[in-house]
Structure formats: structure tokens, C-alpha cells
């Protein structure tokens, strides 16, 4: 009897697995293939992710290889998108710039961020502004927009330069890892500018906070790659089934506890400054919130902690990955390095501020080209349709996931000549600029629409300040002969091996 029951349960389990892995996703995908969308990259549960892992671990050594080469494939040149799967859900990947533009305009009305893509992040760190929707998102976005006002960004240039100098001076000059160095700069600047606090006055997991958070992120990435976590992550985490579930939850709580302590310390300090009549207390979000009568409840303080985490990870990851990739490309191309060096040193006697940064045309071109070729955000965070609606010529069903493949257009000859060439000159050539401007949605390194990156101008200022300091301070570096530019996916796009070089200061 027991054997019969076990056999029956086994068959039921296999049937359910086959239904979830093949029948359900293929049936739902057929709704879109009948409309003319091409089905690509169907793999049970993994979908496009499988192809990216294959490219990452194969001879291409580039997780984005297939997507970068799609525009060069004659059979795929007229694609405006394709449909794949993630789990048992159909996912529409938009390629056409006009279709991407329409989606970005509609996203707040018809979509919310996919539960598959956000569930674990929300469980670990809360919603913040990144994962909020509707009126809640609008309120948080409005609050954050006050901290990215032009005048406030201008006030932070000196902070960026001071932190950059301090962090580079702390490194072993014979072995400077660009990614780790700029991670620390980005993280420290993010918290200092956002909260008005020096996080290095605190410790996390018995070490300085940036190192502690990086240690936790590495642990979290291993946890997220576990097959059981992929299939049942939310359930396992909520019920603390495994030791790894408990360890990950405990780590996230310790990070939140640290930031809450920082926030409370800054609130006390800022209140004291206000009570003493000091005026220079309006550059952090805490002083702005206190002036608006906020931060009086535990709930408001906890929400600020979550917003701080959002900002910290964005500041640390985006800037560091971009600068590390930029360093590789200028180090690899002497003519680009020499031209950039010449421009930056031609202004060496001028103060580094927002206004003077406008003179660095070639530096801006190098940054834009880095964002195109190796930007940290080739996709959106996946969205889920909240209701049936039309997108272009397609009918989108409620529950379908949609994403934008920005990198497809970055490597499309329709907009960028010789797209696999790292060529900053394209951003200074009027004819090429006109080609890029054919469609305003062809180049969106910081996304677009109402949910674009709120910190993009701060990030651009920070990258410029770091690069100007670096080029004024150090001579040309050499990329080690054994360095391999192997692109992988972690929290964002980065290289498997981190570019580490010996630096020599210029003679003043």
C-alpha cells in the first residue's frame, strides 16, 4: 500500500514538474508567438539566463556575448523583441528602441517590478524607492529628488575628491585593484553625502563596514545561486529552514542595525546643530527631513534605513563597475589614454568643480562610451503586467513579464558605427551624433521614463571627479599581461578577475 502511494506521489510530482517546466510556459508563450513575436532561448526554468551563463563560462567569456551579437545576425535584424521564459512565466524582451520608449512611458500605469526579480531583495532589505510602486514610490522619489538638486550635487564635489584622495592613499601602490578601491570610494561618498556621516567610524562583522558588506554580498550571491533557493527562496527564507537561510537573514539584520545606529547618531547630531543655530546642516537627507517635520517615528526611521541601503548599493556598485571597465579600455588603448591625459592636464591649475567639469569634453565622451560598451545595467529590473493592455502591435496579458534589452541597441550599427570598437570620438562627431539621435531611446544607460536613475547626475559628477583626480595624480599604468577581460554577472555586470595595477605618482 505504502509503495503504491509513493509511486503515485512520484508520478504526480513528475507530472507537476513537467507541467511547470514545459507545458505551462510553452502554452503561455504561444499567445505571443501567434502575434509574431519570435520564441528564443527557451530552457526549462532558466530561459535567457541559461544562455548568459553559457556565454559567461564558454569560450566567449562574456555573459552579454549573444545579446551584443544579435543585431549583427541578419536573420535577427528586424526583430523588435522576442519571448522566452523565466520559471513558468513568459518574458518579453524588448529590442526595438521605439517599443522600449513606449514601454517606459507606460510602466508606472501598467506594470510593477517582477516578484521573481524582487522578492528576495524585499525580504532582505525592504522596498525602499527601488521596489516601491504607485503613490508610495512617488512619495519616496520626491523625497530623494531633494538630495540630487544641482546645487547640492555641486556642494559634494569636494567631498568626492577628499574621499578619493584618502582611499587611493590607503592602497598598496604596487597593487591597486580599481574595482575594490572605487567601491570603497562610492560607498563612503554615498553614505557621507546622503546621511552626512562617516561610516568608517563604525564596524560591521568585526571589520570596516565596506569590507563587511562586500563579505556579506559574496555570501548572499552563493546563497542565491543554490538551486533550492532559486525554486523556493521565499518560503525557505521566511521559515528559516536551512542554516544558510538563518545566516543570510542575520547578516541583513546586522547591516540594517548598523545603518540604523548611524542614522540615529546623525539625527541627534543634526538636531543639536539646529538647536545651536548652525546653518550648515542642509546637505544631507536627514537635515532635509528634520526640517520637514519628519523622522519622528520608528517607522520613518526604519524607512530611511532602507532608502539608505538602496542608495549605498547603487552608489557603490554602479560607479565602481563603470570606472573599473573604463580603466581597462583606456589602459588598453594608448591613443585614448594619451588624449584623455592631455585634456585633463591642460586644466590642472583649475579648481575641480561642476562648472569647470563642463570643459572636459573628451572625458565625458570616454564615460559615455564606457556606459555604452560596458555599462553596469544592460537590462531593467524585470516588470510584470498588472492588466491586459497593448504595447505597440502586441497584446500583453496580465501576469506576463517584460524587460528592455538596452544593450541590444548599444551594439546596433543602426545607431553606432563599428559598435564593437571602443571609440569615444563618436560622441564628438556631429554626423555620428545625428545617427545616435535617430531615436532618443536607443541610448539609455540610466534607463528612461519616470523611473529612470534618480542619481545619474550625481554618478556622472562622481566619475568625473575620480578620473580627474586619478589622471592628475598618477602616471600611465600598465595592464598586466595575464589579465583576462572576462565579463560575468553578479549584482551587476563586472569582470571575473578584477583589474589590479601598479601605480606611480606624477612628479609635481
Q: Which residues are annotated as a binding site for heme?
A: 453
The DSSP-derived string for 314-338 is: HHHHHHHHHHHHHHHHHHH-HHHHH
Tell which residue, 296, 295, 217, 210, has the closest CA to residue 258.
210
State the helix-helix crossing angle for 178-195 and 298-332, rounded to 10 degrees: 150
For residue 471, give the H/E element and its range. helix 456-473
Number of other residues whose CB lies within 10 A of the CB of residue 455: 23
Three cell numbers at 467? Answer: 578620473
For CA atoms 440, 369, 414, 433, the dihedral sign is: positive
Tell which residue, 153, 114, 113, has the closest CA to residue 129.
113
Tell which residue, 393, 372, 377, 345, has the closest CA to residue 506.
345
Tell which residue, 463, 487, 504, has the closest CA to residue 327.
463
Q: Which residues contact 63 (CB under 8 A, 6 or more apart)?
A: 52, 53, 55, 56, 487, 488, 489, 493
Q: Are 296 and 205 in contact (CB under 8 A)?
A: no
The DSSP-derived string for 22-72 is: IIHHHHHHHHHHTTTPEE----TBTTHHHHHHHHHHSTT-BTTHHHHHGGG
Cα gap 465→479, rounded to integer Å: 22
Strand-strand pairing, 401-404 and 89-94: parallel
Q: Which residues contact 383 (CB under 8 A, 6 or more apart)?
A: 107, 111, 112, 113, 114, 401, 402, 403
Cα gap 57→452, rounded to integer Å: 31
Cα gap 40→17, rounded to integer Å: 21
Q: Are 266 and 197 in contact (CB under 8 A)?
A: yes
Binding residues: 453
Amino acid at each position: 500500500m505504502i509503495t503504491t502511494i509513493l509511486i503515485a506521489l512520484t508520478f504526480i510530482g513528475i507530472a507537476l514538474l513537467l507541467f511547470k517546466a514545459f507545458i505551462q510556459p510553452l502554452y503561455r508563450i504561444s499567445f505571443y508567438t501567434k502575434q509574431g513575436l519570435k520564441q528564443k532561448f527557451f530552457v526549462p526554468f532558466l530561459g535567457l539566463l541559461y544562455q548568459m551563463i553559457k556565454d559567461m563560462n564558454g569560450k566567449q567569456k562574456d555573459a552579454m556575448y549573444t545579446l551584443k551579437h544579435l543585431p549583427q545576425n541578419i536573420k535577427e535584424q528586424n526583430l523588435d523583441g522576442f519571448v522566452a521564459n523565466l520559471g513558468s512565466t513568459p518574458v518579453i524582451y524588448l529590442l526595438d528602441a521605439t517599443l522600449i520608449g513606449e514601454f517606459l512611458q507606460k510602466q508606472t500605469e501598467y506594470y510593477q517590478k517582477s516578484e521573481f526579480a524582487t522578492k528576495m531583495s524585499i525580504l532582505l532589505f525592504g522596498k525602499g524607492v527601488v521596489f516601491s510602486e504607485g503613490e508610495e514610490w512617488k512619495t519616496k522619489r520626491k523625497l530623494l529628488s531633494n538630495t540630487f538638486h544641482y546645487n547640492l550635487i555641486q556642494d559634494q564635489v569636494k567631498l568626492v575628491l577628499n574621499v578619493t584622495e584618502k582611499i587611493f592613499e590607503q592602497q598598496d601602490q604596487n597593487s591597486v585593484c580599481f574595482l575594490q578601491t572605487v567601491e570603497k570610494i562610492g560607498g563612503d561618498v554615498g553614505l557621507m553625502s546622503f546621511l552626512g556621516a562617516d561610516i568608517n567610524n563604525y564596524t560591521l562583522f568585526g571589520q570596516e563596514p565596506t569590507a563587511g558588506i562586500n563579505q556579506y554580498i559574496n555570501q548572499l550571491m552563493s546563497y542565491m545561486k543554490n538551486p533550492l533557493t532559486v525554486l523556493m527562496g521565499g518560503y525557505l527564507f521566511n521559515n528559516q529552514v536551512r542554516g544558510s537561510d538563518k545566516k543570510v537573514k542575520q547578516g541583513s539584520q546586522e547591516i540594517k542595525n548598523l545603518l540604523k545606529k548611524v542614522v540615529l547618531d546623525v539625527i541627534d547630531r543634526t538636531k543639536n546643530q539646529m538647536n545651536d543655530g548652525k546653518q550648515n546642516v542642509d546637505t544631507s537627507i536627514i537635515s532635509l527631513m528634520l526640517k520637514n517635520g519628519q523622522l519622528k517615528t520608528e517607522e520613518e526611521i526604519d524607512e530611511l534605513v532602507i532608502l539608505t541601503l538602496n542608495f549605498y548599493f547603487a552608489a557603490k556598485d554602479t560607479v565602481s563597475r563603470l570606472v573599473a571597465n573604463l580603466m581597462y579600455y583606456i589602459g588598453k588603448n594608448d591613443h585614448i589614454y594619451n588624449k584623455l591625459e592631455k585634456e585633463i592636464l591642460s586644466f590642472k591649475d583649475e579648481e575641480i568643480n561642476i562648472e569647470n567639469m563642463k570643459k572636459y569634453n573628451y572625458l565625458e565622451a570616454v564615460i559615455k562610451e564606457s556606459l555604452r560598451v560596458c555599462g553596469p545595467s544592460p537590462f531593467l529590473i524585470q516588470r510584470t503586467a498588472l492588466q491586459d493592455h497593448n504595447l505597440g502591435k502586441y497584446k500583453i496579458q496580465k501576469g506576463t513579464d517584460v524587460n528592455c534589452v538596452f544593450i541590444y541597441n548599444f551594439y546596433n550599427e543602426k545607431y553606432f558605427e563599428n559598435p564593437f570598437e571602443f571609440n569615444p570620438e563618436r560622441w564628438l562627431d556631429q554626423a555620428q551624433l545625428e545617427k545616435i539621435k535617430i531615436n532618443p531611446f536607443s541610448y539609455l544607460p540610466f534607463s528612461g521614463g519616470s523611473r529612470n536613475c534618480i542619481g545619474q547626475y550625481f554618478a556622472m559628477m562622481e566619475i568625473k571627479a575620480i578620473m580627474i583626480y586619478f589622471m592628475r595624480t598618477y602616471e600611465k599604468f600598465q595592464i598586466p599581461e595575464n589579465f583576462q577581460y572576462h565579463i560575468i554577472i553578479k549584482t551587476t555586470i563586472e569582470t571575473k578577475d578584477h583589474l589590479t595595477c601598479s601605480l606611480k605618482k606624477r612628479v609635481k
